Structure formats: C-alpha cells, structure tokens
Amino acid sequence: MIYLFMTLLSVILAVIYKEYDDRYSLKRREGDFRKSRTAAVLSVLPFIAVAGFRYDVGTDYLYTYVPNFKEIANGQDSYFEWGFYLLNKVIQLYTLDYFWLFLVCAAITYIMVFDCIYRYIKDPAFGIFLFVATTSFFVSLNTTRQYMAIAFFLWALRYIKRKELGKYVVAILLGSLFHYSILIMLPLYFFCRIRYRPVAGFVIVGLSYAVTSLLRVILTGFFAQRRYGAYFDSSYDSHETAVRFLLINAAVLLFGTLCAGSSAGKSADDDETMNIYMQIQLASTVVCACSGALPLAYRIIWNFSSIQILLIPEALNRIESDGWRRFWKAAVILSFGLLTVVTVFILGEHQVIPYRTVFEK
C-alpha cells in the first residue's frame, strides 16, 4: 500500500533526524547537523510525491480541479479564489499539464506542515504519523485549496505565540487567497490570549449544542444574500450534528484537559503553547457541537481540528510517568489508526482508494 510505504519512509527519516539532531545538540558535531537537516528535508518528499503524482485520487480531483484548470486555460471565468486562480495561470505560462498544479500545491502545503511538525513537536516521527492517522493527509488530497489555506494557518501559529498580530493577519489573509474559509481563524488570535478553563470550556460546548436551532436561524438570515447562503437547505446541508467529529474532538479536548493540568518541569512558554492549542481545540469542539446549523460543517471543522497533530504530542509530553506516557501514546496510535482504516480504507471517504499515478491515466 502506497500510503503505508510513504508514512513508514517519512517516519524512518524523521527518526534519523532526531538521532542526529540529539547527537549534534550534545556534541556540536557539524556532520551530525548536516545529516539531521538532510533527513528532515527528505522526510517530506514521500508526501509531495504521493500527492503530486496521483491521478483521480481525492473526491475533487476530476470533479473540481482538473475541469477548472482546463477552463482557466481556455480563458473562462473560475470561481476559485484569485490566489489559486493566479497559481493556475502562472503554471499555464509554462505547461498545460495539470499534473504540475497538483505537484506545486503538494510542495507548498506539505513543506509548511512539516515545518510546523519539526518546529513544535519533540518527536517529529509521531507528528508525521498523526498527520496521516487523524486523516488530515487524506483530507488534503480531497480539498487541495483548503488544505493549502490550513497550512498557512498552522504556519501562522508562531505569530499567536509571539503576540505579532500583524504577521498573523497577513498569514491568514495569504491563506484566504486559496480558500476563503480560513478567514474564520482570524479571531483565534484574541481567543488564544484567554486562559483555558476546563469547566467553562465544556459548558460552552454544551451551550453551543443547545442553541444550534437558534444559531441556524441567525446564520440563514445573515448569509441569505451571500455565496455561502446557497448551501442552506441544499444537498450539502444535512441539518444534523456531526456526531463522529463531535465525539473525536470532545475526546481530544478531554485528553488535553487532563494532561494540561500537569506543569511539572514545564516552562511558562510551554504552558502558553498548550493554552493556545487547547483554545483552538475548544473552538473545534464548539463548531462540532453546533454543526447542525452549518452546511458543509465538516469543512469548517477541518480548519480547526488540524491543531490535533500538534496538541496530542504536546499533551503526551506533559504526562510525568514514562509508563503512562507510553500507554497513552499506544492508545492514541491504536485509536487513530483504527479511525483511518475504517473511514478511509473501508468506508472510502475522500475517495483516495485505489491509488493511481499520472502514468496510469
């Protein structure tokens, strides 16, 4: 299976990176430094290759991206955000083969995602596994534009931590050039400045579920004359709460809450990072709770739940007992691994099975 091979190869390279990086930090050997950096760079290439060389993999591949690429090449109007439209036009200056669009998008997206994994996670191999096992990678094969925007959001997390509002806004605005939905992440800058309170958080989640009907009435009126309004009462509007997403996000929120209480050996900087992650996870759970009011709610949820690949490793690091840490890490691997097998490989979500390359079209 190509996805298993891709993940194993990338994880092995991440392990090599960690080995040489630790050795370099202890002994300051230049050769180890070069080897660690090389391994880190190489670890992203399997993801770029699998996403870039695919053909008809992902729901929107032939449904959206290929026909619109051809329409843009023929001078027709496109509903794409103008940044993504411009990217199509730039590629078409050199080639009319849409293969290059997917390869360039994969490179942009995964380089930013992997930069965040290596920057924020002490065990990058585990972060890479989570990127696949939380189904985020498979989501990115389906929603090419949106996950490029999500990558900009993950990149922008550093500016929340540094309290650099201007740079955060610029990063999110750049992401919105590829998918407008990422603009919903702008208020997070201020939300993440608030201290996470577990009891208040779960009360907010409960209230969000309780006011779903009222929220739907408000949103229907607000978006009546806007593009998003067309999705209300359409085939994309289920009127139902995304129960599976709610249970997963609530479980991650609870796990993070239990681990966040331990600050032994953690600096104020670590605590601030955890607070940022928890507030974003709380927002993700709130969106899940009131998802019945939102057409295409799962797409909005994907924006927020992308934080899980960073939150879960940070939460595990706060468990003081080595034995319990290994236990919960194994539980995470098993549960999310099972989630991926069932949803992606058995139920066929995102239509990434079977995998085909551009050489087979």
For residue range 222-242, what is the model confidence (pLDDT) as tens digits?
776 677 667 677 777 777 888
Q: What is the mean pLDDT of residues 9-24?
A: 81
Residue in 17, 66, 71, 51 with CA at minimum distance from that of residue 132: 51
Query: How many helices (DSSP H) and strands (DSSP E) are in the chain?
Result: 18, 0
Q: Got the DSSP string for 258-273?
A: HHHT--TT--HHHHHH
Cβ contacts of 54 within 8 Å, gap of 6 or more: 61, 102, 141, 355, 356, 357, 358
Is residue 26 over pLDDT 70?
no
Whether the model clears a pTM of 0.95, i.e. scores above it, the answer is no
Give me the pLDDT at residue 222, please.
74
- Tell me: the pLDDT tens digits for 289-337? 998 888 888 889 999 999 999 999 999 999 988 999 999 999 999 999 9
Report how far residue 239's alpha carbon sits from residue 340's, in angstroms, rounded to the nearest whole number.
Answer: 25
Q: DSSP class of residue 196? A: P
Give me the pLDDT at residue 270, please.
73
Count CB-CB contacts under 10 A for residue 240: 10
Please check whether residue 350 is in contact with residue 344, taking contact to mean a CB–CB distance below 8 angstroms: yes
Is residue 262 over pLDDT 70?
no
| Lowest mean pLDDT, pick from 27-41, 63-77, 84-98, 309-323 | 27-41
Is residue 85 over pLDDT 70?
yes
Count CB-CB contacts under 10 A for residue 137: 27
What percent of the chain is predicted at pLDDT more than 70?
A: 91
CA-to-CA dists, residue 108 to 52, 144, 145, 202, 208, angstroms: 11, 11, 11, 36, 35
Is residue 266 over pLDDT 80?
no
**Structure tokens of 235?**
């085939």
Give me the pLDDT at residue 27, please.
56
For residues 219 and 318, the model is more confident at: 318
| Lowest mean pLDDT, pick from 60-69, 131-140, 148-157, 214-223 | 214-223
Cβ contacts of 19 within 8 Å, gap of 6 or more: 36
Give me the pLDDT at residue 133, please.
96
Cβ contacts of 75 within 8 Å, gap of 6 or more: none
Q: Considering the chain, what is the average pLDDT of its residues?
A: 89
- Tell me: the pLDDT tens digits for 139-174? 999 999 999 999 999 999 999 999 999 999 999 999
Report how far residue 2's alpha carbon sits from residue 253's, in angstroms, rounded to the nearest whole number.
Answer: 32
